[in-house]
Amino acid sequence: MKVTEHLDRAKGPLVSYEIIPPLRGGTLASLLRVIDGLMPYRPPFIDVTSHPAEAVYQRTERGYVRKVKRKRPGTLGVCSLIQHKYGVDAVPHVLCHGFTREETEDFLIELRYLGIQNVLAVRGDDSGWRKELPEGRSENKRAVDLIRQIADLNRGKYLEEDLLDAEPSDFCVGAAGYPEKHYEAPNLVTDIRRTKEKVDAGADYLVTQMFYDNARYHEYVAECRRRGIEVPIIPGLKILSHRSQVTNLPRRFHVDIPPELSDEVLAAGPEHTLEIGVEWALRQARDLFDHGVPAVHFYVMQRSTAITKLLDRLDL
């Protein structure tokens, strides 16, 4: 089922999740424990992040050597597992950075063969390595370009237009929204204009970057509606579970931590951070549902301890 169909048919609030594939060569055991922990709460869909190759430096007898590799392959396999072992709709992330348009088309074709109907189209972070384009290959520079490619495929327009028996795909396309603006945008108004471009290109819904002040989300949605964005805007939340995240999350994701939250975390012992974070996210979720949001999306990533503590207390 498509994400938009889940939203339309829901008889009550929905809670969805985002996880990350294991490191290269790692085991699925820990990820399976995360997914198993989410199943009692009947997730409508689960997002799975994608990761391009990146430049890394490894220490050797000859000193540090620069290598290029994908640290976290496996998005396709994890999505197939979620879709067919657990019977939950998987939402793989599709990236611009690190992939040619031809590789993207192949990935989308494989997803369609697996019966996966949803994708989240994002530009992706700069991995520190720029892929050399082979002759005759092309790339999507921005998320809106990627969305246009998926929309073309939904209309049966492939990169090789003379393909025989080429059928249109039918992907539901999600895109990212930024209540505190994308860090590269000069201001929120400009950022929302770019988001409107993504919706006009074919995005069916938005999922926001994490935020810790609901007022930012409510103001963002109001401004999006004023500027003609009518698709669902699903709020994204992440439970603050480690004291270091007070500084790490703003630096990495360019989000603000409200002083009420950071002060409480820093004043308490590190062993109390998880409970403080759960209580804060619980208040956020309740407020969002009280304001009529159709779903809340939690960035779970690799551990389910925090989210299960919250869900046990969230009366849905």
Average pLDDT over residues 5-14: 94
What does the radius of gyration of the chain's CA atoms come to, in whole angstroms? Answer: 20
- What is residue 297's predicted lDDT score, i.e. its pLDDT? 98
The per-residue pLDDT for range 86-118, each reduced to its tens digit, is: 999 999 999 998 899 999 999 999 999 999 999
Buried b (16+ CB within 10 A) or exposed e, 282-316: bebbbebbeeebbbbbbbbeeebebbbbbbeebee
Report the chain's mean pLDDT, rounded to a whole number.
Answer: 92
Domain carrying residue 24: 3-313
Tell me how many domains the chain contains: 1
Amino acid symbol at 219: E
Residues counted in the chain = 316
Confidence class of residue 47 from pLDDT cuts 50, 70 and 90? very high
pLDDT surpasses 70 at 280: yes
Average pLDDT over residues 274-299: 97
Higher-confidence residue: 24 or 210? 210
Amino acid symbol at 65: V
Asked whether the CA dihedral 177, 111, 168, 149 is positive or negative, the reply is: positive
pLDDT surpasses 70 at 64: no
Burial environment of residue 242 by CB neighbours within 10 A (0 to 12, 13 to 18, 19 or more): middle
Residue 254 and residue 191: Cα distance in Å, rounded?
14
The per-residue pLDDT for range 165-175, each reduced to its tens digit, is: 789 999 999 99
Residue 283 and residue 249: Cα distance in Å, rounded?
20
Residue with tokens 């082979």: 134
Inter-CA distances, 307 with 83, 297, 299, 313, Å:
21, 11, 9, 10
CATH of the domain at 56: 3.20.20.220
Read off the DSSP letter of residue 100: B
- Token pair for 124: 């992706």
pLDDT surpasses 90 at 24: no
Asked whether the CA dihedral 53, 54, 59, 63 is positive or negative, the reply is: positive
pLDDT surpasses 90 at 2: yes
Amino acid symbol at 188: L
Nearest to 30 by CA among 18, 17, 20: 20
With contact defined as beta carbons under 8 Å apart, do 254 and 273 qualify? no
Average pLDDT over residues 253-265: 96
Percent of the chain with pLDDT over 90: 79
- pTM beyond 0.85: yes
- Flag the least confident range among 63-77, 120-134, 155-169, 207-221: 63-77
The per-residue pLDDT for range 176-186, each reduced to its tens digit, is: 999 999 999 99
Q: Half-sphere exposure of 161 toward its Cβ, with a 13 Å CA cutoff?
A: 4
Residue 101 and residue 30: Cα distance in Å, rounded?
32
